Amino acid sequence: MASGDIAASSVTVADLYHELVGMRADVATMLTKMEQVDERGTASDRVQADHETRLRGLENAVPSLLEVRIMALEKFRWQVLGALVAINGLGVLLEWLLWSPRK
């Protein structure tokens, strides 16, 4: 390097100090943002744990008397429907046996 290049691009101690102060402010801002992200993550973990707890409670809940009665009525409805289909099938078979032409 030529001596003229060094003189033209010299860095003073004041320049270094100003850069360090700027970097300190940038690092402080970044740390503040990282703390906010960490707080959001912690809050999100608490919400997720609470949600998971409530879901487990719902999964393990005993059905109420009304729900039990409704399930019994639904079961009865499907049993009646199955019986009607079976009776209809027997009726069709009986009709075929009684009214089919014999050879």
Note whether 100 and 57 are same-domain residues. no
| Domain total of the chain | 2
Structure-token pair, residue 54: 């409530």
Torsion angle defined by CA atoms of residues 84, 89, 91 and 97, in that order, rounded to the nearest 10 degrees: -170
pLDDT at 81 over 50: yes
Same structural domain, 69 and 31 = no
Report whether pLDDT(89) > 70: yes
List the single range of 20-24, 44-48, 98-102 with lowest mean pLDDT.
98-102
| 11-27: b (≥16 Cβ within 10 Å) or e | eeeeeeeeeeeeeeeee
pTM, to two decimals = 0.39
Q: Which helix (H) or strand (E) holds 23?
A: helix 13-59
Residues 56 and 70 in one domain: no
Q: Which residue has the higher pLDDT, 90 or 6?
A: 90
Residue 1 has pLDDT above 50, yes or no: no
Report pLDDT for 63: 80
Closest CA to 71 of 83, 84, 60, 62: 62
Q: How far apart are CA 24 and CA 101, in angstroms?
A: 104
Whether residues 55 and 14 fall in one domain: yes
Structural domain harbouring 81 = 63-103
